[in-house]
Structure 1
Amino acid sequence: MPGYRKLGRPSDQRKAILKNLTTALFVSGRIQTTEARAKEVKNIAEKLITLAIKEADNFTSKSVKVSCAKVDSKGNKLTDAKTSKNGNKYYVIDREVKTDMVSVDNPSRLHARRLMMNWVYRPKTADGKNINITDKLFDEIAPKYKGKNGGYTRIYKIGPRRGDAAEMVILELV
């Protein structure tokens, strides 16, 4: 007997459905689906949130030298005209070296981030920008549930679906 529901699908389709539902849950905070799918997504989401809470503060900061192009007040890159040995003229972008503080994941947090990326897709907003769900888990969702042991999601039954009478539920983050 397997440790999960098969949902009447081949394994690749089943994993795709669960990834889509898990991503939708973390993006919008609530989804409407069948009871069997919701119970599977609930297990996955609870484990990912627990992992995010455990590894939320497991990073270090270090200063890094970054080379970037100089820009004028309009945001255009500044260039210099140069001449090569054989007399050709070309333009070179002026660069400046800055020191920035960058957060660096410790190995266990990096592993947790990769496990999370295995269960979510990279959705886009309406204007085409990518939403990073793993960052959202670490930065927004984990601090919200800090100090709470489980019970991050809730299932509401809303009755049977018209057509095949499958039990429909709403799964939401508490």
Structure 2
Amino acid sequence: MAAPTKGPRLGGGPAHERLMLANLAASLITHKSIKTTETKAKRMRPLVERMVTFAKRGDLHARRRVLATIGDKTVVHELFTEVAPLVADREGGYTRITKLGFRKGDNASMVQIELVLEPVNPKPKSAKKTAAAAAASTPAAAVEEPVVEEETEEVAAADEVTTDEAPAEDAK
């Protein structure tokens, strides 16, 4: 028999594991945050990330793919109508796992897994990169300025010529 490749089995066979992960994913989508064991959360994370990616696509085929896994139409509807628009700008990382400590009964590591629904904030550029960019753009700006001044002098000279000609025509 081949060894499992995706980490430890979560009790029972593969069918039980699929159903348990689907139910956990449905609970996460419904409640936006759930408390579970670390192993279950780590196994559920790729499943939920894939479903949110399908929901961002939003087409009928994606909806049917998610419905094949979850099976509850109300949860799928909530995923596509409420969650997907909130994470539309995010390019992955739709879940957050926070460790909470250990369960009293069996000392299992407990975590809180939640959907990250906050808007994406772009990272500010570091001081070194901005200083280097400013230094690189300064010589280019110095080169461009005299060109602009020469153009304005030519335009001003052209204006003087037209104003000189205009009074001469009025005099006639």
Q: How does 1:1-174 map to 2 (within 5 A)?
A: 2-5=4-7, 6-53=9-56, 55-56=57-58, 109-122=59-72, 132-174=74-116
Query: Is the contact made by 1:157 and 1:168 (CA closer than 8 Å) also made in structure 2?
Result: yes
Other-structure match for 2:145? none
Deviation digits for residues 124-165 of structure 1 (CA, Å, limit 9, x no counterpart): xxxxxxx61222122111110112111111011011111211
Q: Distance in 1 between the 2:26 and 2:5 partners?
A: 22
Larger relative contact order (CA 8 Å, sep ≥ 6): 1
Paired with 1:3 and 1:146, the residues of 2 have a C-alpha distance of: 32
Shift of 1:11: 1.2
Shift of 1:26: 0.5
- For structure 1, the residue ranges without an aligned partner over 5 or more in a row are 57-108, 123-130
Q: Is the 8 A contact 1:155 1:170 kept in 2?
A: yes
- Structure 2: distance between partners of 1:115 and 1:4: 21
Alignment TM-score, normalising by the size of structure 1: 0.60
Aligned residues: 113
Shift of 1:27: 0.5
What amino acid sits opposite 2:60 in the alignment?
A: L
Determine which structure has the larger strand proportion and give its number. 1
- Tell me how far 1:9 sits from its aligned partner: 2.3
Shift of 1:33: 0.6
Which secondary structure does the structure 2 equivalent of 1:168 belong to? strand
> Shift of the alpha carbon at 1:3?
4.1
What secondary structure, in the 3-state scheme, does the structure 2 residue paired with 1:163 have? Answer: coil
Q: Which amino acid aligns with 1:4?
A: K
Query: Matched residues, percent identical?
Result: 38
Structure 1 residue ranges (4+ consecutive) displaced by more than 3 angstroms after TM superposition: none
SS at match of 2:97: strand
Secondary structure in 1 matching 2:12:
coil
The normalised TM-score by structure 2 is 0.61
Query: Please, what is the CA RMSD of the aligned residues?
Result: 1.5
Q: Secondary structure at the match of 2:25?
A: helix
- How much has 1:168 moved relative to structure 2? 0.5
1:138 and 1:27 map into 2 onto residues whose CA distance is 12
